[in-house]
Chain A
């Protein structure tokens, strides 16, 4: 919410060292079958994903259910172990660290979950829940109560609520408690997994504004995972669109909405219902079909089967992530909304998956 303002439309990742580097990350879940539990197949939850996050930035992660956005978020927190690639936090490789060595990292990166009802221990008082994060930072016990009260005030709750149980709060207040718990560890990065999806619209706006304020005040970085494209647009500096384990497009927030390059992004945006009687009732042509299975993803572009622009090459060759001017990346053989100059300036991004092809759109692929 601040990074693009300071960095302009094209964030310059070279200027500041990335806070988090996700480097060709892969997470495969084995599908076991039979009594002996032999692995029959793998779910390609996250399949060769590369993206960096700079300090103070909000990265939005969008996609439909099963696209791997939640797995990617959990893997960043090392709640899930990657099966390939690297994760670096402030330049330190944390891919293979054991639980003990992860401890300092655990305080630096916190998570806020979708369902505050399920993620807060119902038998603990709010004060105890928040204190756990302070303990992670090694704060002496006597100093904790005062800090808990401060944190409650910071998230817009009354410090008097310290002895209440989670069920005594409304949904929005519980999510504030979830945020306070995350803040207690004084993290640099907070991974927010659908933090407002379970909340009513009027409460949603309150929590989004709170997250905004906290970021401004504390210089936090966010990874904001959501399926709601309008909320993501509001909070993000940059947005990555995922489809079936792959990143299909990364772009500064505004550019993604004004000129989506990947047909999937275009289809997603087209499907978002707009609360405006004048704008609605456009000729809707929804994308047909369901996403294919992540256990046996199709070769080539994973969206090809549902894509109105797909050609033969899309079904054969996985498109590389191509960097267009303005920090806009997309993995498509038939990019939308790009000018001839954009195409001329396009290069294959080093973030491209290893399995992807090496031809730029507009070359032989477009034939």
Chain B
């Protein structure tokens, strides 16, 4: 059994404008000591998925389906979706911890950082205030904060953005969680600081064996630290596989488009950036069938049905995608300007004969 198993998760919210299907049949799993990157654009459902694992999306207007199974060190399983609020409170922060995007706002401005860390320890373990504070200082030292005894007494505004993100990491570590969810942990940071924080997350994984769910829109960040990748689009996982396969043999047209539209500093610059035409669909009114079909140059009739998330290539067991196109057709068409990208128009021959 995986450490964390997301099974056919669906999340929808009732709004004034109608029902928003934010997460639509998402399945993936996370092993201990693994970094799983979830990549997608805004509205892809990646953050909602993460927040749902933490139980942070629960509200009278939200409805859920599926299962989120967390397996404990003793093999006991808990369905986080079915857990009571009280049960969730004891799991959050202790067994599943989360780092957020904006370290400037994620810490309470009126409490000292040492107290904010100690507070979490005391919420889960029967330790005194003094012992908890001492542990907080150790944690700050461990994530590379200089003069930790002194800094524990500082307030968040007295830290730089990078240092605050280190404080957040120290806080998530405080109860030795099994799962660490990092939701765009470096997006608000400068690039040199981003490198520091990513290195910190990798070190932690190596030291503690925590399973990391890294949510980001940045394929570069994914390539640097993830072991496996899931690509999300409009509420669904459209492709997942191990890192190398995802970058060298991507099978879903959306993945091609995503890889192609990022300007690269390590390649010759193209005259024009390859783009994906159009914009993502509204989650209140998603297209029938494949959500990417309206933007896909290779769509055909069958794309009106929902393709399953399944292996197209029997030789790569963990590599799943959600597309009706046949494997050899895909491998033939996905090259643009010598690299992987979304070709502008479907070449001849990619008709129903190329369908799997």
Which residues of A are at the interface with B, using a C-beta cutoff of 8 A?
64-65, 170-173, 200-206, 208-209, 212, 227, 229-231, 233-234, 257, 267-281, 284, 286-288, 290
Contacts and interface: CB of A to CB of B under 8 A. Distances in A.
A278 B265 contact: no
Contact of A273 (B224, B247, B275): B224
Q: Which of A201, A212, A234, A270 has the most CB of B within 10 A?
A: A201
Contacts, number: 129
Contacts of B263: 205, 208, 230-231, 233-234
B11 to A, nearest CB: 21
Contact of A274 (B42, B220, B276): B220
Given A209-B273, A290-B162, 18 more contacts: A64-B193, A170-B279, A200-B42, A201-B219, A205-B274, A212-B272, A227-B191, A230-B263, A231-B263, A233-B263, A234-B273, A272-B191, A273-B224, A275-B219, A275-B223, A278-B247, A281-B224, A284-B199
A205 B261 CA distance: 6
Nearest to A290: B160
Contact of A286 (B199, B221, B275, B276): B199
23 contacts: A170-B279, A201-B258, A202-B41, A202-B258, A202-B276, A205-B262, A209-B273, A212-B272, A234-B263, A234-B269, A273-B195, A274-B224, A275-B220, A275-B262, A276-B223, A276-B264, A278-B244, A278-B247, A284-B195, A284-B198, A287-B195, A290-B163, A290-B193
B271 to A, nearest CB: 8
A269 B42 CA distance: 26
Given A205-B273, A234-B273, A274-B264, A65 B190 contact: yes
A203 B295 CA distance: 12
B192 interface: yes
B221 to A, nearest CB: 5
A272 B274 CA distance: 20
Contacts of B346: none
B96 interface: no
Interface in B242-291: 243-244, 246-248, 257-259, 261-266, 269, 272-276, 279-280
Contacts of A279: 223, 266
A205 B271 CA distance: 12
B114 to A, nearest CB: 20
Nearest to B202: A284
7 nearest interchain CB pairs? A273-B220, A286-B195, A275-B219, A64-B190, A200-B41, A277-B247, A205-B261
Contacts of B248: 277-278
Contacts of A205: 261-263, 273-276
Contacts of B193: 64, 290
A206 B224 CA distance: 26
Contacts of A271: 191-192, 194-195
Contacts of A269: 265
A274 B220 CA distance: 4
B196 interface: yes
A280 B42 CA distance: 25
A273 B218 contact: yes
B192 A268 contact: yes
B299 interface: no
Contact of B223 (A200, A201, A273): A273
Nearest to A264: B192
B213 interface: no
A275 to B, nearest CB: 4
B4 interface: no
B217 interface: yes
A204 B219 CA distance: 14
A227 B262 CA distance: 15
B222 interface: yes
Nearest to A254: B269
Q: Which of B218, B219, B257, B269 has the most CB of A within 10 A?
A: B269
B104 to A, nearest CB: 11
Given A277-B246, A278-B247, A272 B265 contact: yes
Contacts of B259: 275
B266 A274 contact: yes
B352 to A, nearest CB: 27
A203 to B, nearest CB: 7
Given A277-B248, A288-B196, A206 B262 contact: no
Contacts of A204: 261
A277 B227 CA distance: 10
